[in-house]
Amino acid sequence: MKLPLSWLSDYTDMSGITPEEYNHALTMSGSKVEGIENIGDKIQNIVTGKILSVEKHPDADKLKVCMLDVGTETLQIVTGADNVKPGQTVPVAKDGALLPDGTKIKKGKLRGVESNGMLCSYEEIGMTKEDFPDAEYGILILEDGLPLGKDIKEVFGLDNPVVEFEITSNRPDCFSVIGLARETAVTFNRAFNVKTPEVKGSGDDINNYMKITVSEPELCKRYTAKMVKNVKIGPSPAWMVKRLQSCGIRSINNIVDITNYILLEYGQPMHAFDMSYLEGNEINVRRARDGELMTTLDGEEHTLDSSMLMICDGKKPVAVAGVMGGLNSEVREDTKTVLFESATFLGSSVRITAKKLGLRTESSSRFEKGLDTENTYPAVMRACELIEELGCGEVVDGIIDVYGTKPKKVTIKFEPERINEFIGFCVPADEMVKTLTDLGFTVDGDVITVPTFRPDVLCFNDIAEEIVRMYGYDKIPSTLMDGDTTVGIKTYSQQIEDRVKNTLVGCGLYETLVFSFTNPNIFDRLNMPGDSVKRNAVVITNPLGVENSIMRTTAIASMMEVVARNENFKAEQVRLFELGKIYIPKEGEDLPEERRVVTIGMYGNCDYFDLKGVVEVMLDDLGIAKRSFEPEKTNSTFHPGRCANLIAGGKTIGTIGQIHPAVAENYGISSDVYVAEIDFEDMLMLAKTEKTYKKLPKFPASQRDLALIADDSVLAAQIENIIKKKSGNIFENLTLFDVYKGNQIPENKKSMAYSLVLRDENKTLTDEDINPVIESILKELSSKLDVTLR
């Protein structure tokens, strides 16, 4: 809400308060000031001056040389304007003057003749045609008799700081001059006065002309109307135009301006109907009929529905209640009789209607917040007072006021001690009473009655806030909580999360963060089967775009996007991980299951085994020793020969492998990409992170190398399982140190060289101990896998 500070002076004493002080004080008492603008700050050194003489420029036909008396001196100024004559008083920008558009005026020579300034038009001093409807083209001619040398800002009141407030939604009363004046007065501890509007009237009775029915009392709590006849439509006086302009509202004509003036001053939206267009001498506040059409003031035609509350005459809708008037009944140049509407509509109803029609107006945004029904009467009376003040019509006696149930009085117990405890510093009870009273509350003993314009105040905390904001949040001391000590500790799950992240960082991976929602096309891009359960995702009904329209069910797609982006940026080698959620819809439940997954992605100077190594380090750290990697040939996202399922705890907890080149291509990636996606929740269940000391060996280990020949189809894991099993409790370690195909190795076979380390806890192993073990290993390898010694 924008408001010229000068308007506040109508209600409270603003003397001696600088805009800066005002800004700070109001912000600290709860009406946040966004900024203060003052056109006057941009105007400097422009004063009134009297033209003493006008002579032709010796060397230029279109220029004139004027002598001006600016009070303290006489200045010679060259002008190009035609409308200057001796004796006139005009605005003079002296040497060094500043115009509102930023222009600086400097003395100089025009065609050889000295010019010590500039004579100004109204535009050049930041004013408009509306300010001077009768002004002719050229230099602005001021009224005679003005003191010479007077600052032009004073002449036109251009020193007019306009404050922009950020009003919170709980304070509809502060969307008005009166509301902010009340806040201002209490903040600065000054008197606050609102006059009751006085309307003389002109006889007759509105009831002779109009009948008003409210068919929807739930949606229209009060409908108050006054009538004005013999209306003289015309421009509003300059002071009113200026106030409206300062608040960002354009002047239309005196009647419309009055309704807008009341909107600002009282915070009560009003509407003026041209009564000659109201058919049947009646107003009915009813719901629209489905499909009913109406054209609003802005010329737009709308199709209505029965959720919308309309102001109708005997036949047709004439206004969308609380939102905008209809074109069919607007006030025009020839309007003679006006009906002023001042009503209270239900906020939520106005909000929905405005949203549906795409019309958010000054009026609707106020109604949405819930307005005080008690305000309609003074507001409409003030409008009539202005009619009489401006002399633009005759106010018909009588008022139509359809008022359903009056708002209930809200009372709250006054507990000054509890308030002081709650806010942490001491305000004397009698000062609290004064503050509350100044804010419009009544305090009677220990009962506070809340004024109707403060629907936000309902309980103890609200009263405490009224006190603390007026005495200053800066007075609240800083204390530390008493009471039972609590232990701050991360949960097991949080600790494991940290642990996994740190391990992966230690493996050289960088953590990524990505969006949780994604594009439904990822399933096709990842080449997932049409019937994949992963395709069942949580769908956002109002996404920003299709690319963010479902909650992800896999994190691989996000990783692929990140990888693609980095490849595109020419990163040669990339090692990344993410620990984030996927969202799995659950049948019959509102909320999906949110599972954390660890996703690893890499390319450049790496292969499947680099990826697997990182996964193994992570699993080792978590103590998940019982695990296996089983070849997975059917996962169409991955290379069919370079993909494995990670099995632990009797289930698949992850997939690792090289991304299928076709999928990589879908992401525009030309490198071989290696990705793992592992369920964090499963790892969490399986983790055994309690580590205990195992005695260091006392006896030496024995190492044997086994060079084996195996079919290509035999897996290392199969061989290793046999070796481990047959080694029994003297097994210590097994390393595959060479795999070879080629010369001296038969077709479809491979040579695999293992280094086996055996150790007995209790003695030094001898050949007699080891040889039988090796024999049994070889026997089992041969019989089960047809693997032989090379």
Partner 1 sequence: MSVPCGADNFFYCPVKLSGNAHNPTEKLGEQKGKVIMKEQLLAIKKSAEEKLAVSSSLQELEDLRVSVLGKKGELTQVLRQMGGLSAEERPVIGALANEVREAVESALTERKTILLAKAREEKLAREVIDVTMAGKKPEIGGLHPITKVLDEVKNIFLGMGFSIAEGPDVELDYYNFEALNIPKEHPARDTQDTFYVSDNVVLRTQTSPMQIRVMEHAKPPIRIIAPGRVYRSDAVDATHSPVFHQIEGLVVDKGITMADLKGTLEQFIKSLYGQDAKIRLRPHHFPFTEPSAEVDVSCFVCGGKGCRVCKGEGFIEILGAGMVHPDVLRRCNIDPDEYSGFAFGLGLERIVMRRMNIDDMRHLYENDVRFLKQF
- What part of residues 351-380 is at the interface with partner 1 (CB under 8 A)? 351-352, 368-369
Binders of partner 1 among residues 157 to 196 (CB under 8 A) are: 168-171
Q: Pick from 292, 465, 616, 632: which binds partner 1 (CB under 8 A)? A: 465
Q: How far is the CB of 787 from partner 1 (least distance, A)?
A: 37
Q: How far is the CB of 467 from partner 1 (least distance, A)?
A: 9
b/e map 723-743, b = 16+ CB within 10 Å? beebbeebbeebeeeeeeeee
Binding mask 521-540 for partner 1 (x = CB under 8 A): -----------------xxx
141, amino acid identity: I
Q: How far is CA 612 from each of CA 606, 608, 615, 616, 677, rounded to the nearest angstrom?
A: 11, 6, 5, 6, 11
> Which residues pair with residue 599 across a beta bridge?
578, 677
Q: How far is the CB of 504 from partner 1 (least distance, A)?
A: 7
Contact stretch for partner 1 (CB under 8 A) within 120-128, 218-226, 500-508, 527-535: 500-508
Q: How far is the CB of 578 from partner 1 (least distance, A)?
A: 9
Kindly state whether residue 771 participates in binding partner 1, applying the rule CB under 8 A. no
Q: Pick from 87, 424, 623, 700: which binds partner 1 (CB under 8 A)? A: 424
Q: How far is Cα 727 from Cα 765, in angstroms, rounded to an integer?
A: 13
- Our CB check for partner 1 shows the closer of 302 and 575 to be 575
Q: How far is the CB of 287 from partner 1 (least distance, A)?
A: 17
Binders of partner 1 among residues 442 to 461 (CB under 8 A) are: 456, 459-461
Q: How far is the CB of 197 from partner 1 (least distance, A)?
A: 30
- Encoded tokens for 594: 């949110």
Q: Pick from 134, 144, 474, 690: which binds partner 1 (CB under 8 A)? A: 474
- Note whether 732 and 758 are within 8 A (CB): yes
- Our CB check for partner 1 shows the closer of 335 and 353 to be 353
Count of residues touching partner 1 (by CB under 8 A): 88
Q: Pick from 333, 481, 729, 762: which binds partner 1 (CB under 8 A)? A: 481
Contact stretch for partner 1 (CB under 8 A) within 234-242, 383-391, 403-411, 472-480: 472-480
Beta sheet of 282-287, edge-to-edge order: 211-214, 282-287, 309-312, 317-320, 324-325
Contact stretch for partner 1 (CB under 8 A) within 114-122, 139-147, 260-268, 576-584: 576-584
Run of H or E including 272: strand 270-274
774, amino acid identity: I
Kindly state whether residue 153 participates in binding partner 1, applying the rule CB under 8 A. no
Q: How far is Cα 463 from Cα 435, in angstroms, rounded to an integer?
A: 11
Q: Pick from 44, 89, 512, 599: which binds partner 1 (CB under 8 A)? A: 512
Q: Pick from 308, 357, 509, 669: which binds partner 1 (CB under 8 A)? A: 509
Q: What is the DSSP letter of 623?
A: T
Backbone dihedral angles phi then psi of residue 338, each to the nearest 5 degrees: -125, 140
- Our CB check for partner 1 shows the closer of 508 and 772 to be 508
The answer for residues whose C-beta is within 8 angstroms of residue 30's C-beta and 6 or more apart is 168, 171, 183, 469
Q: Pick from 221, 469, 534, 749: which binds partner 1 (CB under 8 A)? A: 469
Residue at token pair 């491979």:
750
| Strand positions, DSSP E, 17-116 | 32-37, 44-57, 60-69, 74-79, 89-98, 108-110, 113-115
CA dihedral 408, 403, 297, 367 (to 10 degrees): 0
Q: Pick from 256, 384, 412, 576: which binds partner 1 (CB under 8 A)? A: 576
- Our CB check for partner 1 shows the closer of 379 and 468 to be 468
Contact stretch for partner 1 (CB under 8 A) within 77-85, 210-218, 507-515, 703-711: 507-515
The candidate with the shortest Cα–Cα distance to 658, out of 552, 563, 735, 737, is 563
Neighbours of 59 (CB within 10 A): 10
- Our CB check for partner 1 shows the closer of 477 and 742 to be 477
Q: Pick from 347, 378, 398, 451: which binds partner 1 (CB under 8 A)? A: 347
Contact stretch for partner 1 (CB under 8 A) within 120-128, 396-404, 415-423, 518-526: 415-423
Q: How far is the CB of 498 from partner 1 (least distance, A)?
A: 8
Binders of partner 1 among residues 578 to 637 (CB under 8 A) are: 581, 583, 590-592, 594
Q: Pick from 16, 102, 358, 488: which binds partner 1 (CB under 8 A)? A: 488
Binders of partner 1 among residues 6 to 65 (CB under 8 A) are: 27-30, 32
- Note whether 728 and 770 are within 8 A (CB): no
Residue at token pair 């106005």:
350
- Note whether 57 and 113 are within 8 A (CB): yes
Contact stretch for partner 1 (CB under 8 A) within 283-291, 300-308, 512-520, 637-645: 512-520
Binders of partner 1 among residues 535 to 574 (CB under 8 A) are: 538-544, 548, 551, 562, 565-566, 569, 571, 574
Q: Pick from 511, 607, 705, 711: which binds partner 1 (CB under 8 A)? A: 511
Determine the 3-state secondary structure of 683 from DSSP. Answer: helix
The candidate with the shortest Cα–Cα distance to 790, out of 781, 701, 226, is 781
Q: How far is the CB of 176 from partner 1 (least distance, A)?
A: 17
Binders of partner 1 among residues 275 to 294 (CB under 8 A) are: none
- Our CB check for partner 1 shows the closer of 317 and 601 to be 601
Binders of partner 1 among residues 236 to 265 (CB under 8 A) are: none
- Cβ-defined contacts of 437-440 (< 8 Å, 24+): 438/182, 438/185, 438/186, 438/192, 439/182, 439/186, 439/466, 439/470, 440/182
Beta sheet of 60-69, edge-to-edge order: 74-79, 60-69, 44-57, 89-98, 117-119
Q: How far is the CB of 676 from partner 1 (least distance, A)?
A: 15
- Encoded tokens for 476: 């609240």
